[in-house]
């Protein structure tokens, strides 16, 4: 239906003062029934619909969204993409995602502004450096690019960082993943929505799910504020609200929802051309293409669905950033927000079939879901299309919480855990 | 930011004085060795995580260091009250044990 975006189309529409653009995706009324319904039109849900249609030839897909498209955690994260995880299972999953990121702009014909500017994970004491060496070795064995840098090299590559010996947490070195980087989060949601819409996926916004129709151990459909919709299969990608969805289906999940806060500064001239994370000082920072410093840190520890957290967490985060970059102490902050993250006991996601036939869950990404967006959608689409997990997400089954095969990624999951 | 009242100190203090200790009234099974893996996994990991009223434990970390129970709404952070464990248990059971 719609033509691909190209240099020529930009030029031509530019001559017409950019007034002739069509909406990027259709917003149809819900049909009475679909083959597959995806609950949640965030990055992961839209990516799932896209890969279901593209790679598995499934037709009759709807993506149901409570609010507006990409208005949840997709628009509330700090856009960091990396794959330097410790354990084989998660390293393979995130590396799969990173490889998809590398070709994503061409694949979905939408500029997601994926910028591979590298990610530094700082080490501040001997144990940090030993952990970094271990993780870098594990990454290299899994074919993931990673290297250990010493303190002098970190200072050379990030001139603004305070590398003096007098700091409370001196910088001894870092792990560095050159292929990691950042992407434009809104573009990811919009691009996947447009690409999925081209395959005939119905994206239905402002349509909250209020119940699930389950009989004989099988999903039959869902109740929404816009009426009943029948479906053969339902994939639930509701992030912070996964427990609410699971309760409707009578399933218990090992998930707790927490606020995760972030903030951005006023725009500055380019001063930080990479991403810096520190587990010990407890903050992470990058600079967006607009020039804003994008800053985040840890979760608020209490359960919450309120999309706002406590001010002392922001104070703690700002203190951490100033510890690393004293010259940012007088930068003014523009916006602050909170998102609701679904954390699991092992800081790893759940991409799984459930005891109810035709009902699948993709949740528990906690504080680090954005980096996995295309990979998560890709393997979840496989899980739904084949009613069988993809080899890459077999280990991320819900039953690992009864078998005990947890994948402890608290170290590599980064700052926010 | 909450202001919590410690039922032991009977003092209203800011959230930073306290530390969160998760869902309240998760009873340790009396005979763990009699459970199957699914039931043990349920006890260890599965949580109610409601969007609504939540019975939860807090510790008065920089005060008396005792644990107590708070009933808090997870969507709007309203707090109905804070009680010692035995007091809260009675109210919790009177509600039918539901969150």
Instruction: Give B-chain residues touching A402 at CB under 8 angstroms.
Output: 37-38, 40-42
| CA angle in degrees (0–180, nearest 5) for A96-A98-A104 | 105
For residue A63, the tally of other CB atoms under 10 A from its CB is 31
pLDDT of residue A417: 44
Q: Which residues of chain A have pLDDT under 70?
A: 1-2, 413-417
How far is Cα of residue A20 from the mean position of the Cα atoms in its chain?
32
69-98 of B, contacting A, C-beta below 8 A: 72, 74-77
Instruction: Give B-chain residues touching A299 at CB under 8 angstroms.
Output: none
Cβ within 8 Å, pair A303-B45? no
Q: Look up the ipTM and state it.
A: 0.94
Task: With CA atoms as reference, report the closest residue to A305 among A250, A243, A212, A247.
Answer: A243
Residues 6+ positions from B93 with CB-CB distance below 8 Å: none
CA-based nearest distance B47→chain A, Å: 6
Residue-wise pLDDT tens digits, A148-175: 999 999 999 999 999 998 899 999 999 9
Residue of B nearest to A400 (CA): B41
pLDDT of residue A413: 67
Q: Which of B35, B45, B70, B72 to mutate to test the interface with A (most CBs of A within 10 A)?
A: B45
Mean pLDDT across chain B: 94
Spatial separation of the C-alpha atoms in residues A378 and A97, rounded to whole Å: 8
A303 → closest Cβ in B1, B41, B56: B56
Spatial separation of the C-alpha atoms in residues B23 and B99, rounded to whole Å: 10
Instruction: Give B-chain residues touching A310 at CB under 8 angstroms.
Output: 1-2, 15
Cβ within 8 Å, pair B15-A303? no
Confidence band (pLDDT; 50, 70, 90) for B98?
low
CA distances from A237 to A194, A245, A403 (A): 19, 9, 24
Q: What does DSSP say about strands A227-236 and A218-224: parallel, antiparallel, or unpaired?
A: antiparallel
pLDDT of residue A414: 61
Question: What mean pLDDT is predicted for residues B47-71?
Answer: 96
Residues 6+ positions from A16 with CB-CB distance below 8 Å: none
Question: What mean pLDDT is predicted for residues B64-76?
Answer: 97
Cβ within 8 Å, pair A247-B37? no
Residue of A nearest to B37 (CA): A402
pLDDT of residue A1: 47
CA distances from A251 to A242, A303, A398, A416, B95 (A): 10, 19, 11, 27, 22
Where are the strands (E) in B24-78, listed by range? 53-59, 67-73
Task: With CA atoms as reference, report the closest residue to B48 among B26, B72, B69.
Answer: B26
Spatial separation of the C-alpha atoms in residues B15 and A231, rounded to whole Å: 45
Hey, CA dihedral for A195, A200, A204, A208, is it positive or negative? negative
pLDDT of residue A242: 97
A256 → closest Cβ in B19, B44, B49: B49
Q: Is the pTM of this model over 0.90?
A: yes
Angle of helix A373-386 relative to helix A88-102, nearest 10 degrees, comes to: 110
Spatial separation of the C-alpha atoms in residues A18 and A35, rounded to whole Å: 37
């Amino acid at each position: 239906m719609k033509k691909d975006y190209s240099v020529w189309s930009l030029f031509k529409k530019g001559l017409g003062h950019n007034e002739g653009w069509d909406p990027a995706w259709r917003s149809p009324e819900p049909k009475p029934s679909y083959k597959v319904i995806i609950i949640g039109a965030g990055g992961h849900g839209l990516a799932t619909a896209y890969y279901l249609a593209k790679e598995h030839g499934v037709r009759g897909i709807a993506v149901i969204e409570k609010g507006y498209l990409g208005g949840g955690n997709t628009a509330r994260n700090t856009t960091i993409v990396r794959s330097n995880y410790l354990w084989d299972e998660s390293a393979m999953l995130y590396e799969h995602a990173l490889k998809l990121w590398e070709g994503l702009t061409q694949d979905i014909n939408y500029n997601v502004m994926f910028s591979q500017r590298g990610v530094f994970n700082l080490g501040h004491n001997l144990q940090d450096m030993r952990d970094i060496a271990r993780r870098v070795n594990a990454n290299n064995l899994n074919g993931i690019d990673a290297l250990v840098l010493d303190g002098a090299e970190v200072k050379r590559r990030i001139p603004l960082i305070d590398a003096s010996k007098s700091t409370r947490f001196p910088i001894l070195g870092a792990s560095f993943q050159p292929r990691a980087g950042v992407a434009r989060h809104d573009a990811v949601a919009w691009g996947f929505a447009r690409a999925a819409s081209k395959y005939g996926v119905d994206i239905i916004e402002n349509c909250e799910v209020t119940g699930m129709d389950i009989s004989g151990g099988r999903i039959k459909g869902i109740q929404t504020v816009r009426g009943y919709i029948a479906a053969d299969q339902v994939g639930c990608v509701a992030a912070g609200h996964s427990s609410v969805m699971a309760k409707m289906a009578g399933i218990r999940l090992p998930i707790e929802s927490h606020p995760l806060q972030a903030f951005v500064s006023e725009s500055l001239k380019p001063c930080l051309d990479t991403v810096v994370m520190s587990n010990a000082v407890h903050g992470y920072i990058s600079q967006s293409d607009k020039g804003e410093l994008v800053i985040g840190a840890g979760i608020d520890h209490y359960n919450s669905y309120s999309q706002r957290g406590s001010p002392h967490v922001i104070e703690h985060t700002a203190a951490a950033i100033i510890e690393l970059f004293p010259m940012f102490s007088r930068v003014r902050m523009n916006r602050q927000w909170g998102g609701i993250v679904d954390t699991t006991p092992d800081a790893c996601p759940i991409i799984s079939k459930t005891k109810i036939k035709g009902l699948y869950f993709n949740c528990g990404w906690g504080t680090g879901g954005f980096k996995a967006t295309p990979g998560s959608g890709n393997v979840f689409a496989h899980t739904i299309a084949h009613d069988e997990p993809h080899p890459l997400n077999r280990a991320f089954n819900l039953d690992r919480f009864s078998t005990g095969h947890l994948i402890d990624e608290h170290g590599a999951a980064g700052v926010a855990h | 930011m909450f202001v919590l009242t410690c039922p032991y100190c009977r003092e209203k203090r800011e959230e930073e004085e306290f530390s969160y200790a998760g869902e309240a009234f998760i009873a340790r099974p009396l005979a763990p060795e009699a459970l199957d893996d699914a039931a043990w996994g349920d006890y260890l990991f599965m949580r109610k995580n409601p969007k609504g009223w939540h019975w939860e434990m807090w510790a008065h970390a920089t005060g008396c260091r005792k644990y107590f129970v708070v009933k808090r709404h997870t969507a709007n952070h309203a707090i109905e009250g804070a009680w010692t464990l035995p007091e809260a248990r009675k109210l919790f059971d009177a509600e039918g044990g539901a969150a």
